Chain A
Amino acid sequence: MQLFVEQLINGWALGSLYALFGIGFGLVFSTLGILNAAHGTYASWAAIAGYYAVDRFGVPFPVAVAAGVVGGGLLAVVVDQIGFQPLRAKKTGMLGALITSIAFWIILDSLAGFATGQQSLAFPATSYPNQMVVLGPLRVPQMQIITILALLVCTVGIYLLIQKTRIGAAMRAVGWNEVAAALGGVNARMVILLTAFLAGATSGLAGVLGGISTSNVSFTLGEGLMLKGFAAVVVGGYDDVRGTAIAGICLGVIEVFVAQYISTSFRDGFTYLLLLAFLIARPRGLFGSANFVRA
C-alpha cells in the first residue's frame, strides 16, 4: 500500500509538469490559433535560464524559478512577434504558423544545445529544496510538493483570469475572432502579447521545475514535455485549463502505474492509446466546449 501511495504521488507530480506545460500550449492554441511545435523549446530555455542564474550568479531558488518563468515568457513573445505576427497579418492560417513554428523549434533547439555545451546539466543540489518530507510512513521530496502546488496555483489563477476578468474576456474574444474583438474595442495586439507571455511563462515554469526535479537541464527537456503536454491538452480539452490539469495528472499517474505494475515498454503506448481514444470518442476532450472551433 505504501508503494502504491508513493507511486501515486510520483505520478501526480510528474503529471503536474505535463499539465503545467499543457496549459501554456493550450492557451496558445485556443487564443492565438497556433499549433506551436516550438513550444517545448520555451521549457528548455527556461530551465537553461534558471540554471545559469544559479550557476553564474548564485541566486536563490525562487529567483532562479522567476528567471526561468520570465525567460520562457519573453522568448514566447519574441518568437510570436518575429515568426507569427507577420503571418497573422497576412492571414496565412494554421499551416503557415505550424511550418514556421517547426523552423523555430529546430533553431531554438540547436541554440539550446550550444548553450548547454550539448550536455545534460543539473541544478546543484544545494540550490533548491531537496529534502524529503516525512508524512507518516511516506517520504515525499519537497520538489514534488512544490510542483503539485505550482500546478494548483497556476490552474486556479489562469482559470479565474480567463473566466472572471475583462482581460480573460478579451483573450476569449480574440480567440474567437480577432477582427470582431478589435471592432468591439479590444486591443488585440496587447492580448496576443499577453497570451504569448503567459503561455511561455507557464511552460517555462514546467521547464524549470522539471529541470530541477529530474536533474536534467538540456535541449531535450522540452521535447519530452511537448508530447505529453499535447496529449494533456487533447484529453483535457483545448479551451479549458481545468481539463488540461486533470488530464495531465491522469497521464502522469497512468504512466507511473503502467511502468510499476505492467511494463515500461507499454508505458507510452498507454498514453497514446488514451490520446487516440479521446480523439475518436470525445475530440473536444474532458472539459472542451462542444462548439470550440478556431475562427
Chain B
Amino acid sequence: MNRISKAARAVRGVVAGAAALAAGFAGPALAAPAAGEYGVGFITENTGPLAAAGVSYHRGAQLAVDEINGSGWIGQGVKLKLGEKESGSDAARAVQALTQFSADRNVIAVTCCILSPVAAALKPVTTNAKLPLVIYGATLPGLPQPPYVTSIVGLPGPQEVKMSKMLAETLKPKTVTYFVNADNEGFQNRFKAAQKVMEEAGAKTAGVVSILSADTDFTAPATQAIATNPDLIMVWTTQTPAAGIIAALRARGYAGKISASDVISPAPVFKKIGPALAGVPFPILFAAEISSTPEAKSFIEGYTKKFGEAPDTYSAQGYTALYYIAQGLKNTNGKPTREDLAAAIGQIKSNDHNVYGGVPMVNGQAEVENSLVANWTADGKVVRWENK
C-alpha cells in the first residue's frame, strides 16, 4: 500500500512536472478564453430609412454566431451570445443602446452602425467605457481608433477607383456627368475620387447634379443630367436615390452608359427597379452569384439554408464582424476583460475567417483587396461586368 502510494506520488510528480514544463514552453500557444458565454451587443438598424440593409447585416451576424457556437470555433465550451438593441439609424438611439450594453457586464464587445455620423457619435462613448466597438457598415475613413474602435468594412474608395479606371479604359468616355448627394460627405468624397480618375483619363465633366438623401422624385434631376448629353453618367448617391435616379434616367429614355456604387447590389433593389438596372456596373466586395472562395460558398449555403434567400454584401459584413470579434476573443486567455479583448482585437493583422479571400487589418481598418465589378442582368442575376 505504502509502496503503491509512493509510486503514485512519483507518477503524479512526473506528470505535474511535465505539465509545468509544457506550460512554461508553450504557454501562449495554449492561451484560450475560459469556457462560458460571452455577450456581444449588436446595435441593429432593422427599422428606419436603412432597414433593408440593416436586416441583412443582422442576419449575417446571426449566422456567424450560430456557426461559431456550433463548431466551437473560439474554443471548447466558449460561446457567443448576441444581444440586440435597435437604433433605427438614429445617433441618439444608438448612443443609448451602447450605454445600455456598456452597463451590462456580460457584454464584452459591441458592433454597430451603417451610417458614419452614427459611428462617429459612438466613438467617444465606447472609448470612455473601454468597450470594444467593431463597425460593420460605416465607411468614412478615419473612424477606427484602435484598440477600442475598429472596422471590418473595406473602404469603398479603392474599389471604386479601380472600377472608374476600368470604365475609363474600356468605355473611353469623352464626357461624364455625375450625380452626388449634396448632404453626404462620404459620397461626395467618392464622387471626387471617381471624377479625378475620369479627368486624368481625359474625360471632361459635363455636369454635376446634386440631390438630397431624402429626395424621392428624380424626374427633374434626370432631365438635367440628360440635357448635358454625356457619354457616361456616374451615380454616387445613397441607395434610394441611386435606384430612383437610374429608374428615372431610363424612364426618360436615356439609353447611354450609367455606373453606380454597390448600393444597387442588394436583391430588393433589383426587385424594386427591375430591368432598368441591367448592365449598370458597380464595384462590390461580395456577391453570392460570383464570390467563389470556400468560405464564401459555405457562407452562401448556410445563409440560404437559414433565411431562405441568398446573402448580399451587407450580410457578408455582419458575418465578418462577428467572426472578427470571435477571433479577438480566441486570442485572449482565461476570463478576458473588455480591455483584454480590445487589446487582442487591436493586434489582429488579418481576418482568419472571411468571405472575401483575404482581409488584412491596418490600424484597425479592414483593407479588402479582391473587389469585383458586377452588374445586374435583365432577369435579375448578378454577373461580372463586361462592356457590351
Interface residues of A (CB under 8 A from B): 2-3, 6-7, 10-11, 13-14, 17, 110, 113, 117-122, 124-125, 130, 132, 139, 141, 144, 210, 213-216, 220-221, 224, 256, 259-260, 263-265, 267-268
Q: Which residues of B contact A7 (CB under 8 A)?
A: 220, 223-224
Q: Which residues of B contact A215 (CB under 8 A)?
A: 243-244, 247-248, 272-273
Q: How far is the CA of A290 from the CA of B6 in the complex (A)?
A: 112
Q: A124-B274, A132-B253, A224-B214 are in contact. Are A113 and B47 (CB under 8 A)?
A: yes
Q: Tell me if A118 and B55 are in contact (CB < 8 A).
A: yes
Q: Which residues of A contact B47 (CB under 8 A)?
A: 110, 113, 118
Q: Tell me if A220 and B214 are in contact (CB < 8 A).
A: yes
Q: Tell me if A14 and B219 are in contact (CB < 8 A).
A: yes
Q: Tell me if B52 and A120 are in contact (CB < 8 A).
A: yes
Q: Which residues of chain B (205-240) have a CB below 8 Å from chain A?
A: 209-212, 214, 216-221, 223-224, 227, 240
| Given A120-B243, A132-B251: 6 more A-B contacts, CB < 8 Å | A119-B51, A125-B274, A130-B251, A141-B219, A224-B214, A267-B212
* 13 A-B pairs whose Cβ atoms sit less than 8 Å apart in the complex: A3-B223, A7-B224, A118-B54, A119-B268, A120-B240, A141-B219, A214-B217, A215-B244, A260-B220, A260-B224, A263-B182, A264-B182, A264-B212
Q: Which residues of A contact B248 (CB under 8 A)?
A: 215
Task: Give the top 6 A-B pairs by smallest Cβ distance, nearest first.
Answer: A118-B51, A264-B210, A10-B220, A216-B216, A256-B220, A214-B216
Tell me, yes or no, whether B77 is within 8 Å of chain A by CB.
Answer: no
Mask, B132-167, CB within 8 Å of A = 1, is 000000000000000000000000000000000000
Q: Which residues of A contact B240 (CB under 8 A)?
A: 120, 216
Q: How far is the CA of A110 from the CA of B46 in the complex (A)?
A: 12
Q: Which residues of B contact A13 (CB under 8 A)?
A: 219
A64 to chain B, nearest CB (A): 16
Q: Which residues of B contact A268 (CB under 8 A)?
A: 212
Q: Which residues of A contact B183 (CB under 8 A)?
A: 265
B180 to chain A, nearest CB (A): 10
Picked from B48, B52, B224, B273, the residue with its CB within 8 Å of the CB of A122 is B273
Chain B residue nearest to A11 (CB atoms) is B220
Q: How far is the CA of A279 from the CA of B252 in the complex (A)?
A: 38
Q: How far is the CA of A10 from the CA of B268 in the complex (A)?
A: 28
Tell me, yes or no, whether B28 is within 8 Å of chain A by CB.
Answer: no
Q: Which residues of B contact A263 (CB under 8 A)?
A: 182, 210
Q: How far is the CA of A267 from the CA of B210 in the complex (A)?
A: 11
Q: Tell me if B247 and A213 are in contact (CB < 8 A).
A: no
Q: A6-B223, A7-B224, A259-B221 are in contact. Are A118 and B216 (CB under 8 A)?
A: no
A101 to chain B, nearest CB (A): 21
Tell me, yes or no, whether B124 is within 8 Å of chain A by CB.
Answer: no
Q: Which residues of A contact B211 (CB under 8 A)?
A: 264
Mask, B97-126, CB within 8 Å of A = 1, is 000000000000000000000000000000
Q: How far is the CA of A275 from the CA of B209 in the complex (A)?
A: 26
Q: Tell me if A139 and B48 are in contact (CB < 8 A).
A: no
Tell me, yes or no, whether B49 is within 8 Å of chain A by CB.
Answer: yes
Q: Tell me if A216 and B224 are in contact (CB < 8 A).
A: no
Q: Which residues of A contact B273 (CB under 8 A)?
A: 122, 215
Q: Tell me if A144 and B219 are in contact (CB < 8 A).
A: yes
Q: How far is the CA of A124 from the CA of B247 in the complex (A)?
A: 11
Q: A139-B253, A256-B220 are in contact. Are A122 and B212 (CB under 8 A)?
A: no
A119 to chain B, nearest CB (A): 5
Q: Tell me if A118 and B48 are in contact (CB < 8 A).
A: yes
Q: Which residues of chain B (172-190) have a CB below 8 Å from chain A?
A: 182-183
Q: Which residues of A contact B217 (CB under 8 A)?
A: 14, 17, 210, 213-214
Q: A118-B48, A120-B240, A121-B272 are in contact. Are A265 and B216 (CB under 8 A)?
A: no
Q: Tell me if B52 and A119 are in contact (CB < 8 A).
A: yes
Q: Tell me if B49 and A220 are in contact (CB < 8 A).
A: yes
Q: How far is the CA of A241 from the CA of B250 in the complex (A)?
A: 35
Q: How far is the CA of A122 from the CA of B247 in the complex (A)?
A: 10
Q: Which residues of B contact A144 (CB under 8 A)?
A: 219
Q: A3-B227, A215-B247, A264-B210 are in contact. Are A122 and B220 (CB under 8 A)?
A: no
Picked from B219, B243, B251, the residue with its CB within 8 Å of the CB of A10 is B219
A155 to chain B, nearest CB (A): 20
Q: Which residues of B contact A259 (CB under 8 A)?
A: 210, 220-221, 224
Q: How far is the CA of A11 from the CA of B220 in the complex (A)?
A: 7
Q: How far is the CA of A251 from the CA of B384 in the complex (A)?
A: 44
Q: Tell me if B223 and A10 are in contact (CB < 8 A).
A: yes
A136 to chain B, nearest CB (A): 15
Q: Tell me if B51 and A113 are in contact (CB < 8 A).
A: yes
Q: Which residues of A contact B220 (CB under 8 A)?
A: 7, 10-11, 14, 256, 259-260
B149 to chain A, nearest CB (A): 27
Q: Which residues of B contact A117 (CB under 8 A)?
A: 51-52
Picked from B210, B227, B252, B268, the residue with its CB within 8 Å of the CB of A141 is B252
Chain B residue nearest to A13 (CB atoms) is B219
Q: Which residues of B contact A110 (CB under 8 A)?
A: 47
Q: Which residues of A contact B251 (CB under 8 A)?
A: 125, 130, 132, 141
Q: How far is the CA of A265 from the CA of B180 in the complex (A)?
A: 12
